Structure 1
Amino acid sequence: MRGIVWLDSPVKTYRNESGSLPELRISGDTSRFAYKNKQGHRSAIRISRIVSETLRLGGMENVRWFVMGDDDTVFVTDNLVRILNKYDHNQYYYIGSLSESHLQNIYFSYGMAYGGGGFAISYPLAKALEKMQDRCIQRYPGLYGSDDRMQACMAELGVPLTKELGFHQYDVYGNLFGLLAAHPVTPLVSLHHLDVVEPIFPNVTRVQALQRLKIPMQLDSAGLMQQSICYDKTNSWTVSVSWGFAIQIFRGVLSPREIEMPSRTFLNWYRRADYTAYAFNTRPVMRNPCQKPFVFYLSRASIKSNTNLTTSEYTRHHTPQPLCKWKMAHPVTLIGWKCTRSLILIYGIGPQEETVAGS
């Protein structure tokens, strides 16, 4: 895997940084292209040409895919490879996902891969794009960004978007907990706008939160954020596990259909608590005081090489709990949870074996 960072102008670097930085390139002059969108910035033209400019560098004969993301996009590279391996790189493929915002998708396109979530273009398609992109861009001076210019050229080439739900634009504000705790059953490929939302783990900085997430990511990237729903019959609890991230315990028996929907812990891109503004189903945060979840966040994870089992531990996040008058077992006495997983899953074949125990 080779990475290149494209800039609009040179930046100062130091000798001791050369080994840790990716290859830096300066984009070509785009002053000849018209840009007429009053709300955007003409840098969108430069960014939209990055795939073509990368191809022109040469030495790309053995490349299968070109993957593009923003400067605030975090990729889970192993999962990116897993997703791309599903497709024939010798064919034309344009792979990515939509915005979480219904209004954003209406304004831009429901057929566009959003650049913040990242997208992938197969090598043959990149070659076809490079031959016509500059002429294509000239025909769309009124578009806002780079990703809608890219989609316009894909439309001219007759290539539709292949949607993969693991690419995340995250056009939301607030807390991503509801989205991450109910991640769809597909590898987590990318995260975006982490500088806009709250840290994904509480009481730490955004960087520290990502460093903690790297631990399960390196142990079992395919299982990261995958949701399992189980039931404690003795205590009448519903337990939702988002592996490598968090565990939720709900008093009472809730259906999987309800728990697999993200709870609205976040606001839409226009900072409104409007559930009709999302391009997917959501559920309200529990209003019944007895069904407010008890949340346990990942604290550590490890793997036993001789058994190929991962063990992850989760510590309770202490927040005030409303008074509950139900006469049933109370999760407040639990300090933490431990999960073990067998690394046997191949996506599309079946679920992983998972064991959950409270302490």
Structure 2
Amino acid sequence: MAGFLISPALGYLQTHSERGNSRRFAAVIIVAASCLCLSALALLTSYFCPIQRKSIDLCRTPSYPYSKADDSRLLATSVGGSVSPQNVITATNLSHVVFGIAASSELWEKRKEYLKLWWKPKKMRGFVWLEKKVRYTEEDAKTLPPQMLSADTMRFKYTSRLGRRSGIRISRIVSEMYRLGLPDVRWFVMSDDDTIFVAKNLLRVLSKYDHKQFYYIGSNSESHMQNLAFSYNMAYGGGGFAISYPLAKALSSMQDDCLHRYPSLVGSDDRIHACMAELGVPLTKEPGFHQYDIRGNALGLLAAHPLTPAISLHHLDAINPVFPNRTTLEALNHLQRSIDEDPTHFLQQSICYEKDRIWSISISWGYVVQIFRGVIEPRELEVPLRTFYSWNRKADFTTFAFNARAYPRHPCERPTLFYMHNITTSSRQERPRVESFYIRDAATSSPCPWTMPSPTSIDLIKVSRHKDENMWNKAIEENVF
């Protein structure tokens, strides 16, 4: 078997051969995971990344100037932003956050398995809010948040024909959590029981904001029709949203009166939004909260995540398993390995090019690597492929609230997919290195009549990068990796 290693991280090209089956050419590409290849000027002048026989430079990577001051990041609460002993507070951590998970007894036995994926009993605070008590096994008691029964809401009128009365109950969870009088709370975070959180990324985002002010933080739906029906200024609770402690206090004092004024609203999110509007608090949008109002294969969205921390994934029952040949729960367990190993870079997209084979390479860290034949510009690769369809089961691209490109019909234009197989981290204390391995999905290896080299000659891709938990605290500057 003959093969070679392409290593921009190490800066050289190695060739080797060994005995074995000569009928098949196999190769391993080691690609720097944090590469944002080629500026627009470079594309105009070269189309390919520069490459030499003994020296290789495939990628440009967003790098972040390191400062030890980043390790002790403090939040200044004064209006001017200056730091003094009087206005400096400790950084937000998990103990400052209380989660409210909206659940139903009917779906609990299935949905609780999603919660077990990300819940950390000894580090997190929160409650599962139900309409009636469910059976907790001994294992459930150790691995899940305690259950709470929501207060009776029959005194509130409900006239919508489209939703369920449970929307009233769920909308009051934040107020009910505030009234528990828990100490040292900065944020209340709401979600559904089929939502997965990346807790460290949630903290990174919340730490940007002054928890002593009124904040209502979340994101919209991916569905344009859903946003039109409800609001582009409303946080969708499936993707999760955060409410600061003082805002929760204000909400609890007026919410019951507010709810009486909106009997015709459909669910819980629009009721929360109505009360936020009465309080004069706008939605602060953070695109890392993902409602995922889509159906089918979510590959296109997961493979082209925006340059922002991935905070949550929702509607896990409505989309296909995120890895092929696995059940939904098995696939999510596998994906959780990426989250646990390096949440900072989870799903972050990097783009590279391989000159000799004329390939464009898109990496979604910890999930998938896509290899396209030919040169595709970065501005196109960062647009999700429409591998999914809309929440109302239509393939019409106008139903989405974001740009998306059609999935290629020609087999040669379709990407060859390599799904995450394993992840390891070096034991070096200074700048540990994370290595992730991606194996080709045979189902995406369509026959192609083009004469250029086929990505199906590759079986394994190794992606290597430095672990940098302070990445999101630093300004980006473009350097050669």
Corresponding position of 1:308 = 432
Give structure 1 stretches of 5+ with no counterpart.
none
Contact 2:417 2:444 in 1 (8 A): no
Query: Is 1:226 matched up with 2:352?
Result: no
Asked which structure has the greater CA Rg, the reply is 2
1:346 match: 471
Contact 1:227 1:240 in 2 (8 A): yes
Match of 2:394 in 1: 272
Distance 1:334 1:202, change over 3 A: same
Between the aligned partners of 2:389 and 2:477, the Cα distance in structure 1 is 32
Paired AA for residue 319 in structure 1: A
Per-residue Cα deviation, 1:231-264 (whole angstroms, up to 9, x for no partner): 1112111000000000000010000111100000
User: SS in structure 2 opposite 1:228?
Assistant: strand
Q: Retained in 1: the 8 A contact 2:415–2:444? A: no
Alpha-carbon distance, 1:332 to partner: 1.2
8 Å Cα contact 1:100-1:280 kept in structure 2: yes
How far is 1:325 from its partner? 3.2
Alignment of 1:129-168 (within 5 A): 129-168=251-290
Find out whether 1:332 has 2:456 as its counterpart: yes
Query: In the alignment, which of 239, 248, 251 is matched to residue 117 of structure 1?
Result: 239
Q: Summarize the alignment of residues 198-209 of structure 1 with structure 2, pairs less than 5 Å apart.
A: 198-209=320-331
1:293 to 415, 421, 430: 415
Corresponding residue number in structure 1 for 2:127: 4
Q: Which amino acid aligns with 1:288?
A: H
Deviation at 1:288, TM superposition (A): 3.2
How far the C-alpha of 1:14 sits from its partner, in A, is 3.8
Q: Which residue identity lines up with residue 201 of structure 1 in the other structure? A: F
Instruction: Kindly report which structure 2 residues correspond to 1:207-246, keeping only aligned pairs within 5 A, or say none.
Output: 207-246=329-368
How far 1:16 moved relative to its partner? Answer: 5.2
Candidates 178, 182, 185, aligned match of 1:59? 182
Match of 2:84 in 1: none
Query: Helix, strand or coil: the match of 1:32?
Result: coil
Segments of 4+ moved more than 3 angstroms: 14-17, 320-323, 351-355
CA contact (8 A) 1:227 1:243 kept: yes
Query: CA deviation digits over 1:80-133, x for unaligned, max 9?
Result: 111111111111110001111100000011100001000000011101101100
- For 1:42-93, what per-residue CA distance to the aligned partner results, in whole angstroms no more than 9, with x for missing partners? 1110100000000111123x10100000111111111111111111111111
> C-alpha distance in 1, partners of 2:139/2:361?
49
Equivalent-residue separation in structure 1 for 2:243 and 2:203 (angstroms): 13
2:303 corresponds to 1:181? yes
Q: Counterpart amino acid of 1:278?
A: F
Matched residue SS, 1:10: coil
Q: Distance in 1 between matches of 2:279 and 2:444?
A: 56
Give yes or no for contact 2:198–2:310 (8 Å, CA) kept in 1: yes
Give the TM-score taking structure 1 as reference length. 0.95
**2:373, 2:412 within 8 Å by CA — same for their partners in 1?**
yes
Q: Which residue of structure 1 lines up, in the alignment, with residue 199 of structure 2? A: 77
Q: Which amino acid aligns with 1:125?
A: L
How far apart, in 2, do the equivalents of 1:312 and 1:158 lie? 46
Whether the aligned pair in 2 keeps the contact of 1:4 and 1:22 (CA below 8 Å) is: yes
Matches of 2:427 and 2:232, distance apart in 1:
44
Q: 1:172 to 1:352 in 2, by over 3 A?
A: farther
Q: Distance in 2 between matches of 1:15 and 1:211?
A: 21
* Among candidates 67, 85, 91, match of residue 213 of structure 2: 91
Q: CA deviation at 1:327?
A: 2.4
2:154 is matched with: 31
- Cα separation, 1, equivalents of 2:325 and 2:205: 33
Q: Partner amino acid for 1:159?
A: V
Query: What secondary structure, in the 3-state scheme, does the structure 2 residue paired with 1:281 have?
Result: coil
- Conserved 8 A contact 1:342-1:353: no
Cα deviation 1:191-235 (Å, max 9, x = unaligned): 111111100000011111111111111111010000001111121
Instruction: Give the TM-score taking structure 2 as reference length.
Output: 0.72
Per the TM alignment, residue 12 of structure 1 is displaced from its structure 2 partner at its CA by 2.4
Give the counterpart letter for 1:9 in structure 2: K
8 Å Cα contact 1:339/1:354 also seen in 2: no
Among candidates 46, 54, 57, match of residue 169 of structure 2 = 46
Cα shift readout 1:301-338 (whole Å, capped 9, x = no counterpart): 01002150000000000026444333222211101100
Query: Using the alignment, how far apart are the partners of 1:209 and 1:240 within structure 2?
Result: 21
- Residues in 1 aligned to 2:376 and 2:140: alpha-carbon distance in whole angstroms: 52
Aligned residues: 354
Aligned to 1:104: 226
Letter of the aligned partner of 1:37 in structure 2?
A: S
- Contact kept, 8 Å, 1:341 with 1:353, in 2: the verdict is no
Deviation at 1:343, TM superposition (A): 1.5
